[in-house]
């Protein structure tokens, strides 16, 4: 009943009556819709008792503000009205009873057409000036339409949250909105200027009594411009307390200026917050698709990402946007701004060139023609690669187009001109035509950090001046933070290819197969097959894993985003790494030494969280359809958490071994072709000595050979010097020992014994060399080719035992009891190991056939067949000793000849050893 009485009071005020009369109550009933039928019947009865007719509904009802009426001074009721109110209360229709509603005003014909026209004008303005932001323009148009019918509430007329990469038109669109909405002032606030709690006073004022006290820039502006568009740029960077100071704006529609104590009315403002938060979603194709098809679901996804964003205040990590502020912001329209396409950039450049020309014409009084406007705009865009910053493009297009003309006019002040023209030479037009469509060129410039560079020429013909751009070329720029920043993330397009890598033919063939799959993504998808998401290259250090990854990147045409395993020890880095990859997708992430990331359960909760973060990212980009391939390298495959390398993640595993002979020959031929090396160097001989070396080792041999020749002042590098560098790398530096002739002879007999018995018993085991040059690892040695495959059968192990014992046997045979010295300790360890493996590990003993005591011990933690094992090992060694003594006796002439020869030459190769053995047999 309150509405009925307040409406009657309003009519009494309109009539300037001193009392609320029955007539006023009658007028009130004509303005209201009775929603309680029982109340209606009682009122009609009371009206008849007062001999008052029931009122007809008003044809043009007015709309009194009942809250405002209630706040006015009280007007007493006429006795008749008072009695009627008391009777209604007695019948159960008290003041709290809702018996009526205000009737909706009759619509005014044609008013909707006016509202639609205004919205259409705003939408047309935004669409003509802001490119590639159709969703943003549509959302703002909807909000403007909503403003046309919504009344004033306790909050701003509209609020927006503009999200997107920098320089996509967020602030510019807000400025245009101010132009499109008649009577709205515009003000932008850079929130990076309010990063401390104290700086927030600049917005809402500082109380009197403090130094620098004064009104706030925000409150003062809105006080004088109640209808205004307010932009808070990069709101996430402002202090949390500053964010909190704006909360009342959304709950009440007012902010108090601390200096003047005035409550400033913000209810007619449009508030726009901009932010770069949620950047990980901007390049996510699945999210962008979801935004277009399911905007409400995408909105929640985006808000969830923003809730997780953090910043640091006074050493503490806090939410980038406080939960309270984000709750208020999310009540408005959330709009994601797209990255600008080539078409959008070209339209911006074309408009900017047109504007600059118009301003130039107006200022100089000269007509300036631009017949090739589209091609010129494309050239301008490519000149602002690789960042394609829109602000720079708008600000500096005149530097590129107009400055050459003004410079010419300044240098030639007396010339008479009537017309100016800007054109592109045929080579520039051909360049642009060749690279159409330009999208692939844009990607190249971005990934390789390049831009288009041109020269210009000014030609004067009579009173006409022609500016012609010519000589297009791709110019490489120095790299900025994005290409080697403090985070360790580097982006490049390597120039190395598979033809530049020696050997590894099987691996290169497999990598090429994966590249073919990447290039046929759509075909595979149509067959229901998904691409592999990652590959692990594992093997010894220096075998070329990183080089293979770079070649893969080049051949596949993927940007190479590289980091080390140590970089993964930061959860923030992992997140940034994959976010960067999405920006450049399709792209390759290369993680060197991925084993630096510990296995879960081995290094604590933080390490576990790092592995989990990596797994989330690996699963995330595969589910989101991002075109990202991960390649990792390691020397220790066993140290990688199994979840990382399981199927569906980094599941292609390729071993990268040491170089084969073909690859080593490629390296040797490459550096031996240099004139500084002797032409008679035997490459086949060096190939034998370089077995087991990596590409890095081969390059080191080359480098050290050259450096040693410089130290010795040798013009032509002989084979012996190269061989010495190989031995130094493999076996250590030669030692300068004051060895007696007797000690050197004993060593020679010892090594000759090994070599001869090996050639007799194991001819398939190829010898590289025999040397008596003392090194850090041995006083002498026989080195063997490690590339040969070996079948460890019983006879082979027994013969290995004999070879190991042959050195001591030969030394004792030649020098007597003095030869029984400690120099054979390593040989004895080898011999005992062969015996143990054959008997205790592999069940090769006649007394313990197919029984492995070592395996039983490992399984039961108890010793098994101890006596039998000892007896068999003793017998094995006794038999090997007898056989070795017999063979040494038989081949002593060959051992003697080899000893004398190696004492003179220091090193003998396999062919020389075989010659001595053959000669001694005749």
Please classify residue 35 by burial: count the beta carbons closer than 10 Å to its beta carbon, then call 0-12 exposed, 13-18 middle and 19+ buried.
exposed
Q: Are 359 and 368 in contact (CB under 8 A)?
A: no
Residue 187: in which H helix or E strand, if any?
A: strand 185-190
Q: In terms of DSSP H, where are the helices of 673-824?
A: 683-689, 695-711, 719-731, 741-761, 794-815
Nearest to 721, CA basis, from 732, 711, 708, 734: 708
539: alpha, beta or left, given left = phi > 0 and alpha = psi -120 to 50? left
The neighbour count for residue 380, using CB atoms within 10 Å, is 23
Residue whose tokens read 């014992």 = 805
Report the C-alpha gap between 546 and 632 in whole angstroms.
Answer: 9
3 state DSSP class of 321: coil
Among residues 555, 724, 751, 768, which one is catalytic? Answer: 751
Report the C-alpha gap between 61 and 53 in whole angstroms.
Answer: 19
Report the C-alpha gap between 727 and 690 in whole angstroms.
Answer: 9
Q: Are 219 and 246 in contact (CB under 8 A)?
A: no
Report the C-alpha gap between 418 and 405 in whole angstroms.
Answer: 14
Report the C-alpha gap between 390 and 411 in whole angstroms.
Answer: 32
Write the CA distances from 729 to 43, 702, 771, 775, integer angstroms: 113, 11, 15, 11
Q: Are 472 and 452 in contact (CB under 8 A)?
A: yes
Nearest to 363, CA basis, from 390, 398, 394: 398
Q: % helix / strand / coil in the chain, to the nearest 5?
A: 55, 15, 30
* DSSP secondary structure string for all residues of 108-121: PTTHHHHHHHHHHH
Report the C-alpha gap between 540 and 656 in whole angstroms.
Answer: 7
Report DSSP state, residue 763.
Answer: T
Please classify residue 173 by burial: count the beta carbons closer than 10 Å to its beta carbon, then call 0-12 exposed, 13-18 middle and 19+ buried.
buried
Q: In terms of DSSP H, where are the helices of 390-504?
A: 390-401, 403-411, 426-434, 439-448
Contacts of 467 (CB under 8 A, 6+ apart): 401, 404, 405, 420, 421, 422, 423, 456, 457, 458
Please say if 751 is a catalytic residue: yes
| Strands, sheet with 450-461, edge to edge from the N-terminal-most edge strand | 367-369, 419-424, 464-476, 450-461
Burial 37-71 (b: 16+ CB within 10 A, else e): eebeebbeebbeeeebeebeeeeebeebebeebee
- Please compute Rg for the chain using Cα positions: 45
Report the C-alpha gap between 471 and 168 in whole angstroms.
Answer: 31
Q: Are 385 and 450 in contact (CB under 8 A)?
A: yes
Q: β-pairing, 333-336 with 263-265? A: unpaired
Write the CA distances from 336 to 233, 276, 282, 287, 303, integer angstroms: 15, 10, 8, 11, 11
**Geometric angle at alpha carbon 260, from 259 and 261, rounded to 5°:** 95
Which residues are known to be catalytic? 751
């Amino acid at each position: 009943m309150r509405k009925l009485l307040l409406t009657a009071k309003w009519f009494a005020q309109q009539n300037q009556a001193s009392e609320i009369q029955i007539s006023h109550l009658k007028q009130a009933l004509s303005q209201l819709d009775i929603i309680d039928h029982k109340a209606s019947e009682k009122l009609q009865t009371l009206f008849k008792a007062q001999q008052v007719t029931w009122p007809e509904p008003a044809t043009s009802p007015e709309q009194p503000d009942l809250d405002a009426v209630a706040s006015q001074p009280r007007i007493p009721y006429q006795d008749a009205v008072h009695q009627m109110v008391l009777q209604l209360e007695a019948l159960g229709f008290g003041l709290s009873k809702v018996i009526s509603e205000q009737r909706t005003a009759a619509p005014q014909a044609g008013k909707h057409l006016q509202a639609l026209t205004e919205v259409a004008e705003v939408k047309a303005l935004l669409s003509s000036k802001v490119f590639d932001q159709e969703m943003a323009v549509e959302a703002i148009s909807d909000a403007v339409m909503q403003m046309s019918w919504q009344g004033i509430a306790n909050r701003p007329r509209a609020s927006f949250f503009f999200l997107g990469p920098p320089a996509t038109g967020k602030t510019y669109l807000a400025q245009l909105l101010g132009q499109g909405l008649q009577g709205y002032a515009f003000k932008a606030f850079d929130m990076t200027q309010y990063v401390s709690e104290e700086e927030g006073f600049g917005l809402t004022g500082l109380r009197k009594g403090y130094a620098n006290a004064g009104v706030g820039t925000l409150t003062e502006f809105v006080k004088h411009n109640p209808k205004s568009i307010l932009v808070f740029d990069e709101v996430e960077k402002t202090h949390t307390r500053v964010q909190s100071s704006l909360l009342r704006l959304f709950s009440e529609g007012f902010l108090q200026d601390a200096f003047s104590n005035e409550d400033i009315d913000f209810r007619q403002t449009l508030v726009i917050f901009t932010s770069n938060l949620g950047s990980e979603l901007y390049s996510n194709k699945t999210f962008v698709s979801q935004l277009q098809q399911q905007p409400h679901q995408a909105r929640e996804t985006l808000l969830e990402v923003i809730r997780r964003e953090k910043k640091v205040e006074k050493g503490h990590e806090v939410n980038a946007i406080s939960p309270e502020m984000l709750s208020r912001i999310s009540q408005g329209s959330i709009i994601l701004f797209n990255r600008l396409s080539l078409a959008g950039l070209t339209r911006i450049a074309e408009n900017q060139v047109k504007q600059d020309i118009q301003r130039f014409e107006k200022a100089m009084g000269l007509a300036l023609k631009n017949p090739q406007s589209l091609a010129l705009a494309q050239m301008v865009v490519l000149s602002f690669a690789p960042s394609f910053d829109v602000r720079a493009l708008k600000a500096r297009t005149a530097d590129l187009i107009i400055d050459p003309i003004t410079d010419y006019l300044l240098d030639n002040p007396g010339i008479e001109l009537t017309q100016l023209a800007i054109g592109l030479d045929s080579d520039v037009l051909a360049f642009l035509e060749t690279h159409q469509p330009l999208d692939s060129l844009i990607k190249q410039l971005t990934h390789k950090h390049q831009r288009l560079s041109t020269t210009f020429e000014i030609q004067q013909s009579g009173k006409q001046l022609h500016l012609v751009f010519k000589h297009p070329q791709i110019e490489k720029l120095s790299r900025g933070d994005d290409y080697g920043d403090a985070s360790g993330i580097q982006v490049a397009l390597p120039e190395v290819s598979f033809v530049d890598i020696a050997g590894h033919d099987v691996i290169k063939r497999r990598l090429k197969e994966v590249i073919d799959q990447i290039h046929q993504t759509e075909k595979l998808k149509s067959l229901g097959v998904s691409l592999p998401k990652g590959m692990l290259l594992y093997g010894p250090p220096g075998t070329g894993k990183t080089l293979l990854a770079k070649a893969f990147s080049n051949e596949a045409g993927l940007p190479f985003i590289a980091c080390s395993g140590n970089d993964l020890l930061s959860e923030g880095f992992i997140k940034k790494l994959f976010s960067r990859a999405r920006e450049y997708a399709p792209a390759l992430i290369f993680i060197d030494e991925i084993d630096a990331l510990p296995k879960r359960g081995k290094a604590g909760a933080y390490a576990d969280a790092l592995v989990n973060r990596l797994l989330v990212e690996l699963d995330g980009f595969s589910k989101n359809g991002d075109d990202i391939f991960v390649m990792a390298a390691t020397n220790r495959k066993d140290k990688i958490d199994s979840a990382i390398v399981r199927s569906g993640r980094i599941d292609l595993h390729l071993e990268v071994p040491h170089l084969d002979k073909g690859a080593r020959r490629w390296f040797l031929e490459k550096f031996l072709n240099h004139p500084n090396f002797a032409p008679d160097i035997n490459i086949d001989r060096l190939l034998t000595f370089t077995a087991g070396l990596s590409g890095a080792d081969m390059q080191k041999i080359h480098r050290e050979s050259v450096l040693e020749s410089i130290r010795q002042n040798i013009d032509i590098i002989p084979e012996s010097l190269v061989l010495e560098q190989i031995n130094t790398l493999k076996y250590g530096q030669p030692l300068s020992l004051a060895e007696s002739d007797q000690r050197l002879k004993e060593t020679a007999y010892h090594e000759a014994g090994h070599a001869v018995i090996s050639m007799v018993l194991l001819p398939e085991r190829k010898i590289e060399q025999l040397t008596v040059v003392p090194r850090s690892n041995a006083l002498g040695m026989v080195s063997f080719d490690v590339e040969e495959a070996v079948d460890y059968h019983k006879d082979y192990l027994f013969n290995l035992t004999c070879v190991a014992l042959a050195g001591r046997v030969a030394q004792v045979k030649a020098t007597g009891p003095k030869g029984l010295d400690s120099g054979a300790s390593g040989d004895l360890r080898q011999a005992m190991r062969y015996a143990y493996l054959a008997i205790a590990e592999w069940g090769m003993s006649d007394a313990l056939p197919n029984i492995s005591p070592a395996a039983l011990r490992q399984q039961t933690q108890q010793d098994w067949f101890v006596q039998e094992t000892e007896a068999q090992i003793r017998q094995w060694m006794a038999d090997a000793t007898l056989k070795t003594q017999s063979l040494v006796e038989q081949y002593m002439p060959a051992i003697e000849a080899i000893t004398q020869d190696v004492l003179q030459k220091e090193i003998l190769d396999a062919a020389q050893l075989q010659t001595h053995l053959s000669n001694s047999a005749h």
